[in-house]
Structure 1
């Protein structure tokens, strides 16, 4: 079968790999769509991120969906022909955090397409994936392309759960890449009364408006765009920071009201925060990492049509054009979510 394999920065190859045998409780999924994530892009552009480096050839990809092609004799959860989204997260269910009910913090996590452990965890950008049946969630309406967005949407749903209720809230979303845009869709579904989005590029802001943003500001062109929301110690109830950028975080803190909530969802390097402001305004600042129980909810919301994520899909490439797909995905002016079609 064909796979998409990263060897080093800018060294991405389509290679043949042997199909794994089917074990008890497992299924073979014929992958139809795979979304290129920010981490996939980091592997392609830089050979990794932070201290994580590609040290051996690794199949990329974890945003995947397709059709069940074969099942083990003991599998009853799905049947051949089912359209499924595949949860790439595989906690051990035995470490201290799994036993505490925090599987997203698993000490022995096996997450598709990750170079963190050695040997690396091979990913899902392959024509056929053998996985546990428990990783598969069926859909009756949504296409594979839509279902491949269940993983990043799960990340967002987990992030919003860290924020508490958004019902009637004024929400600020800083950074409108794929995650920020998905936050807009999720915040609208969760009952936010007003959703303000910021970015330094115009094109993502247009898509954010399509997904339900009330106001969209390019802060590179208009650095004072948020100034009206700073009145009376701040007018924003909840800030979801998706850029991983210190300037965006600081600008957001200026407009978040006292005892407002800030969720750091975007990843970046070390940054400093205005400590006096945190103390004086009594912010609740929380992080958000991966997801777990949100995945079946994400599939259900997408499949039912209660959220429409189709505006995010800005490109789909056949597997043999994987390099072109990754190059496109790295262009913020033309790409939001780019997928491979298998």
Structure 2
């Protein structure tokens, strides 16, 4: 059998190629991938040959948003049995022996690896392949009622869940979400799940605004600076990862509010209206990936407690990955784009 994978070789050099059968270690199971969600980092590797400071130096199998079926259990007897439907937690926390980090926050471990990342050399190969060998600690059996296509949202939903919880208590409060891409839409869903009294979402494009409205958010055009400045939100989730988005997040925040910086800004200095943040006594907090929220997210998805309907706007066969990536890169026409592999 061929084992087709989506492999980034350099900027604008994305290939569908046979990578051969996986050779699992004793603590690894072989998973037949059902769905893989295309993330912004995957798009950056495709378009630029790098995602932030992670630069392609060898071919990289992309993909870290994954669901699938165990087709060979781990030889050491750990993890799920053959036939188990699973979602994948792609983080492996590592310290570097020098930098301190809080042990209860594994997402902050300084030398961690993440599936489909070029941060380290050799690169950490991802899961956009028909079959992959993965450590059993990454594999979370799907709760009853959760299907494989919905489960592909577990990883980005965990990112959003972590960000909302970084703000502290949101129940009964007004939450603004700046940027309604897939992560922003999931932040809207999580904020509503956590009891926000009102959620307001912004975006430049009509499609993501309509998807946010379908989740019960009041929506604003991201260019409507006057309306954003009068939100006086208690909590703001900045999910666009842009300089204008960060400025809008601070403008939308009421006095004493919390701004969660979820969208990853460019490396180096970033211009922001910090005088406003100071005089309003805003709390600015970062949010990076997620830790142990994954199980809670899976249970919420299985129980229908997170409204994710319609966030996956396109599903392409993995053999059409180039078309899928092009569609995912157009935020005016798509939200989450998923690849369907053999197990689907």
Alignment TM class, shorter chain as reference: over 0.9
Residue 274 of structure 2 aligns with which residue? 275
- 1:200 matched residue in structure 2: 204
2:317 is equivalent to residue 318 of structure 1: yes
- Per the alignment, do residues 322 and 100 of structure 1 end up closer, same or farther by CA in structure 2, a change over 3 Å counting? same
Structure 1 residue 248 corresponds to structure 2 residue 251: no
Matching residue within 179, 191, 195 for 1:191? 195
Q: SS in structure 1 opposite 2:227?
A: coil
Give 1:84 deviation, angstroms: 0.5
Is this contact kept in 2: 1:112–1:121, CA < 8 A?
yes
* Residue 338 in structure 1 maps to residue 320 in structure 2: no
Aligned counterpart, 2:154: 150
Query: What corresponds to 1:36 in structure 2?
Result: 38
> Equivalent residue for 2:63?
61
Instruction: Measure the CA separation in 2 of the matches of 1:83 and 1:324.
Output: 27
Aligned to 1:209: 213
Cα deviation digits, residues 96-145 of structure 1 (max 9, x gap): 65663221112221211111111111111011111111211111322211
Give, in angstroms, the shift of residue 76 of structure 1: 4.7
Q: What secondary structure does 2:209 align onto?
A: helix
**Closer, same or farther: CA 72–246 of 1 in aligned 2, 3 Å:** closer
Q: Give the match for residue 7 of structure 1.
A: 9
Q: Secondary structure at the match of 1:192?
A: coil
Asked if 1:173 corresponds to 2:170, the answer is: no
In the alignment, structure 1 residue 23 sits paired with structure 2 residue 25: yes
- The equivalent of 2:236 in structure 1 is 239
Contact 1:245 1:268 in 2 (8 A): yes
Q: Deviations over 1:177-227 (max 9, x none)?
A: 1111110000000000000111111110000111231x101133x342224
Partner of 1:232: none
For residue 78 of structure 1, the aligned residue among 77, 80, 83 is: 80
Q: 1:276 to 1:297 in 2, by over 3 A?
A: same
The Cα of 1:277 is off from its aligned counterpart by 1.8
Q: Is the 8 A contact 2:9 2:60 kept in 1?
A: yes
Q: Which digits, 9 at most, give the CA deviation of each residue in 1:254-282, with x for residues without a partner? A: 33222110000011223222232222111
- The 1:76/1:247 distance shift into structure 2, 3 A limit, reads closer
> Shift of the alpha carbon at 1:87?
0.8
How far apart are the structure 1 equivalents of 2:149 and 2:4? 19
1:67-106 residue pairs with structure 2 within 5 A? 67-92=69-94, 97=100, 100-106=103-109
Q: TM-score, normalised by structure 1?
A: 0.93
TM-score calculated relative to the size of structure 2: 0.93
Q: List runs of 5+ in structure 1 lacking aligned partners.
A: 230-234
Deviating beyond 4 angstroms after TM superposition, the runs of 4 or more aligned structure 1 residues are 93-99
The 3 A distance-change label for structure 1 pair 271 and 136 is same
Is 1:161 matched with 2:165? Answer: yes
Distance 1:133 1:328 in 2: 33
RMSD value, Cα = 1.7
Deviation of 1:91 after TM superposition, in Å, equals 1.2
Q: Which has the higher helix share?
A: 1
Contact 1:242 1:265 in 2 (8 A): yes
